[in-house]
Chain A
Amino acid sequence: MSSILITSILVLSLLGLTLAVVLYLTAQKFKIIEDPRIEQVEAVLPGANCGGCGYPGCHGFAEAFVKADDITSFFCPVGGNVTMANAAKVIGKTAETKDPMVAVVRCSGSPEHRKRIAEYEGAPSCKLATALYSGDTACQYGCLGLGDCVAVCQFDAIYIDPVTLLPVVNEDKCTGCGACVKACPKSIIELRKKGPKGKRIYVSCINKDKGGPARKACDVACIGCGKCVKVCPHEAITLENNLAYIDYNKCKLCRKCVEECPTGAILEINFPLRKQKVEGQIESTETL
């Protein structure tokens, strides 16, 4: 009885030992030597694997980052400048600082401003609805509110407002990875410069129709009147296909266009409230 036990234990131990040696030798023979800096770079990255940088996850980014000679084209939108500086330090280079970006939803067509003319009752996906219809309002460019952007956001930074039925970006959480920009089949969401203290100005509309039909479809549509283009002292606004666009690199946040816009399509974010103009009162004392 005990001899059977001893034999089996011996045989199995011997077998285990032999295989261990074989495995060790194979592992040594086929060892992949990875640049240790790749792991170090990956360690400083946020690890969200969101793909916002254009590479398949953080490891992919780290690998390309370490191998590249010129690192100016690399940017981790989630980690921002701090992460990039740390990552560049690992490989002994310095990263250029970039302005932080944030996703903006360029549609203000809440039910109050944009009448519903039809009802969609298919599967709740913007992509799907776009393939079938222009949408449930007369504006074929506007937001459908079915939440494809919400579904792709990995940072819980976007939600559909139950009253306006439009996506709202939580700018503290938004990392500017651009996943929602890619997900939106109507190309409504854009990445824009966050601006100093979060102050930014943008045209919250992408309607390319002529003034009449655009206004008819939505009260707060850009009607392409061009008033903002004329008033802008910095030549930051262009008008193309009946739609104004503000170049965020040229915009100096003077807010003149916001005042001029007849439909209120231009939005100002995070600015202090304006002083109410009182009739008869002199606006500014400087001119006196």
Chain B
Amino acid sequence: MLKTFAKGGVHPPENKLSANRPIETLPLPARVSIPVSQHIGAPATILVAKGDKVKVGQLIAQSAGFVSANIHSSVSGTVESVDVVLDSSGYKRPAITIVVEGDEWDSSIDRTPDIKTEINLSAQEIIKKITDAGIVGMGGATFPSHVKLSVPTGKKADVLIINGVECEPYLTSDHRLMLEKGHELMVGIQMLMRALNVDRAMIGVENNKPDAIKYLTEISSSYKGISVHALKVKYPQGGEKQLIKALINREVPSGGLPIDVGAVVHNVGTAFAVYEAVQKNKPLFERVVTVTGKNLAKPSNFLVRIGTPVSELISAAGGIPTDTAKVVNGGPMMGKAVVDVNVPVTKGTSGVIVFPATESKRKTESVCIRCAKCVSVCPMGLEPYLLTRMSQRMMFENMEHERVLDCIECGSCSFTCPANLPLLDYIRLGKSEVNKIVRARKN
């Protein structure tokens, strides 16, 4: 009997079209636009000015506080402008635009392909390197990783959980990474274990990736303390709280963090970035992005420099199909449609999905018949139909009482609703209003 989380969950069609495509390196674009706010927290402070020459891996924006992250140049060339560019939601945000000239890497980066397994740094040194490299949660939430590794006093982690679930349909970037960079991943995990001072790490992988489970299980025997666990396929297993429940059967309390139950969760992409940062001195300036879609000629997994326009990725995957109606940044369940295909790839871009008109339109809404399907699929045990009603009537205090802040915005409720109601939309609105109320109360 395979493990999974207890409450709720849905089974969207998997559509992992690019699962068998090895990771390809995308050719360098002509110019990149690197936003200075690619993470949760304070935007980084810009260090370069127009006309400056930069190298690959050079620090171009400095972390502005504890919850913030450094930003490095992903290319070598000249800074064309330090101005606002469109982000995927259509707002203009500060970014550094660099015209690419050659591919000159910072000399401190080790570009050799050999795998360095020896770890001779202390926990503090590892965290320092992770902070310097600007590593954030690569699963899409982009929370600065060093913050998660700095366990607050009085709390203790006893297990590191590595998230290789990739429960979003379509996406395959983590799957390919596990298959192709297994040893690097293992070393990265061991470094995270040392940073947290824990002696066991569990990798959770859903059972729809048997090749990755087999391969990782094979190689994990030569790394101490790491075990691989196959999990029953169910969305949203990749959610931190769901994964903890599935793997170690502990429940994170309402309003709490994983560390409250002694666990820290990191994505496989993050573990790989940690390996590169610590062993190869390579800051986070490129990532694996799945580019996919049913009508796309060549669904692929690309190793992409941060700041590359999304349009370049789509053309490398065979060009944008003529019937395209929506391009989604992220997975189909939690991702957001982009307003312009020229928006840059950021640290949190795990996938780009091109949807034809037939699949992207919302279906006609009807009325709620109180079937309670949304209640039964909610992985957090909330009542989405009720929260939606409250949000529509602006009863935000009641929403807080109904624990709306526990919502992980997985979209299972909207996915399952037979009346096609935009449940998550309204819950999100309520969440932001409740957050405002909570903040006002604190001040």
Taking a contact as CB atoms under 8 Å apart, the answer to whether B429 and A125 are in contact is: yes
Given A121-B361, A121-B362, A140-B91, A134 contacting B425 (CB threshold 8 A) = no
Checking A118, A122, A131, A134 against B432 with a beta-carbon cut-off of 8 angstroms, the contacting residue is: A131
Taking a contact as CB atoms under 8 Å apart, the answer to whether B340 and A128 are in contact is: no
Task: Report chain A residues within 8 Å CB of B91.
Answer: 134, 140
Nearest residue, chain A, Cβ from B431: A131
Which residues of A79-112 have CB atoms within 8 Å of chain B's CB atoms?
Answer: none
Which of A123, A133, A135, A209 is packed against the most chain B CB atoms within 10 Å? A123
Task: Report chain A residues within 8 Å CB of B429.
Answer: 125, 127-128, 131
Leading 3 A-B pairs by shortest Cβ distance: A134-B90, A123-B422, A118-B339
Assembled-state Cα–Cα distance A134/B84 (Å): 14
What sequence of 0s and 1s flags, for each residue 107-144 of chain A, a beta carbon within 8 Å of any chain B beta carbon?
00000000001100111010110011111000010000
Task: Report chain B residues within 8 Å CB of A122.
Answer: 362, 422, 425
Show 21 residue pairs from A and B whose CB-CB distance is below 8 angstroms, ordered by the A residue. A117-B339, A117-B340, A118-B339, A118-B340, A121-B361, A122-B362, A122-B422, A123-B422, A123-B425, A123-B426, A127-B429, A128-B426, A128-B428, A131-B432, A132-B89, A132-B336, A132-B425, A133-B90, A134-B90, A134-B339, A209-B92
Assembled-state Cα–Cα distance A88/B339 (Å): 55
Task: Report chain A residues within 8 Å CB of B422.
Answer: 122-123
Task: Report chain B residues within 8 Å CB of A128.
Answer: 425-426, 428-429
> How distant is B388 from chain A, measured CB to nearest CB, in Å?
9
Assembled-state Cα–Cα distance A132/B426 (Å): 11
Task: Report chain B residues within 8 Å CB of A117.
Answer: 339-340
> How distant is B411 from chain A, measured CB to nearest CB, in Å?
13
Task: Report chain B residues within 8 Å CB of A209.
Answer: 92
Taking a contact as CB atoms under 8 Å apart, the answer to whether B89 and A133 are in contact is: yes
Checking A121, A123, A140 against B90 with a beta-carbon cut-off of 8 angstroms, the contacting residue is: A140
> How distant is B364 from chain A, measured CB to nearest CB, in Å?
11
Nearest residue, chain B, Cβ from A118: B339
Which of B90, B92, B336 is packed against the most chain A CB atoms within 10 Å? B90
Task: Report chain A residues within 8 Å CB of B336.
Answer: 132
Nearest residue, chain B, Cβ from A152: B394
> How distant is B311 from chain A, measured CB to nearest CB, in Å?
15
Taking a contact as CB atoms under 8 Å apart, the answer to whether A134 and B426 are in contact is: no
* Supplied contacts A125-B429, A213-B92, 6 more A-B pairs, CB within 8 Å: A121-B362, A123-B426, A127-B429, A128-B425, A131-B429, A134-B89
What band does the interface of chain A fall in when counting residues whose beta carbon is under 8 Å from B? Answer: 10 to 19
Checking A121, A131, A133, A134 against B428 with a beta-carbon cut-off of 8 angstroms, the contacting residue is: A131
Task: Report chain B residues within 8 Å CB of A131.
Answer: 428-429, 432
Assembled-state Cα–Cα distance A17/B337 (Å): 72
Checking B90, B340, B426, B432 against A135 with a beta-carbon cut-off of 8 angstroms, the contacting residue is: B90
> How distant is B405 from chain A, measured CB to nearest CB, in Å?
15
**Number of residues in B with C-beta < 8 Å to the partner?**
16
Which residues of A212-269 have CB atoms within 8 Å of chain B's CB atoms?
Answer: 213
Interface, chain B (partner A; CB < 8 A): 89-92, 336-337, 339-340, 361-362, 422, 425-426, 428-429, 432
> How distant is A143 from chain B, measured CB to nearest CB, in Å?
15
Nearest residue, chain A, Cβ from B423: A123
Assembled-state Cα–Cα distance A267/B115 (Å): 68
> How distant is B414 from chain A, measured CB to nearest CB, in Å?
10
Which residues of A151-177 have CB atoms within 8 Å of chain B's CB atoms?
Answer: none
Which of A133, A209, A213 is packed against the most chain B CB atoms within 10 Å? A133
Which of A117, A132, A135, A213 is packed against the most chain B CB atoms within 10 Å? A132
Task: Report chain A residues within 8 Å CB of B362.
Answer: 121-122
> How distant is A274 from chain B, measured CB to nearest CB, in Å?
37
Task: Report chain A residues within 8 Å CB of B426.
Answer: 123, 128
Nearest residue, chain A, Cβ from B325: A119
Nearest residue, chain B, Cβ from A121: B362
Taking a contact as CB atoms under 8 Å apart, the answer to whether B90 and A118 are in contact is: yes
> How distant is B291 from chain A, measured CB to nearest CB, in Å?
20
Task: Report chain B residues within 8 Å CB of A121.
Answer: 361-362
> How distant is B400 from chain A, measured CB to nearest CB, in Å?
17
Taking a contact as CB atoms under 8 Å apart, the answer to whether A140 and B428 are in contact is: no
Nearest residue, chain B, Cβ from A129: B425
Task: Report chain B residues within 8 Å CB of A135.
Answer: 90
Task: Report chain A residues within 8 Å CB of B337.
Answer: 118
Nearest residue, chain B, Cβ from A137: B90
Assembled-state Cα–Cα distance A135/B429 (Å): 16
Assembled-state Cα–Cα distance A133/B86 (Å): 11
Assembled-state Cα–Cα distance A133/B92 (Å): 11
Taking a contact as CB atoms under 8 Å apart, the answer to whether A133 and B432 are in contact is: no
Task: Report chain B residues within 8 Å CB of A213.
Answer: 92
Assembled-state Cα–Cα distance A151/B323 (Å): 36
Nearest residue, chain A, Cβ from B429: A128
Assembled-state Cα–Cα distance A132/B89 (Å): 6
Task: Report chain A residues within 8 Å CB of B339.
Answer: 117-118, 133-134
Assembled-state Cα–Cα distance A224/B429 (Å): 33
Task: Report chain B residues within 8 Å CB of A127.
Answer: 429
Assembled-state Cα–Cα distance A118/B360 (Å): 13
> How distant is A118 from chain B, measured CB to nearest CB, in Å?
5
Assembled-state Cα–Cα distance A140/B87 (Å): 11
Assembled-state Cα–Cα distance A186/B288 (Å): 36
Nearest residue, chain B, Cβ from A134: B90
> How distant is B385 from chain A, measured CB to nearest CB, in Å?
14
Assembled-state Cα–Cα distance A122/B425 (Å): 8
Assembled-state Cα–Cα distance A131/B425 (Å): 9
Task: Report chain A residues within 8 Å CB of B425.
Answer: 122-123, 128, 132
Task: Report chain B residues within 8 Å CB of A140.
Answer: 90-92
Task: Report chain B residues within 8 Å CB of A118.
Answer: 90, 337, 339-340
Assembled-state Cα–Cα distance A122/B420 (Å): 11
Nearest residue, chain B, Cβ from A208: B92
Task: Report chain A residues within 8 Å CB of B340.
Answer: 117-118
Task: Report chain B residues within 8 Å CB of A132.
Answer: 89, 336, 425, 428
Nearest residue, chain A, Cβ from B83: A210
Nearest residue, chain B, Cβ from A138: B90
Assembled-state Cα–Cα distance A209/B422 (Å): 32
Assembled-state Cα–Cα distance A237/B428 (Å): 39
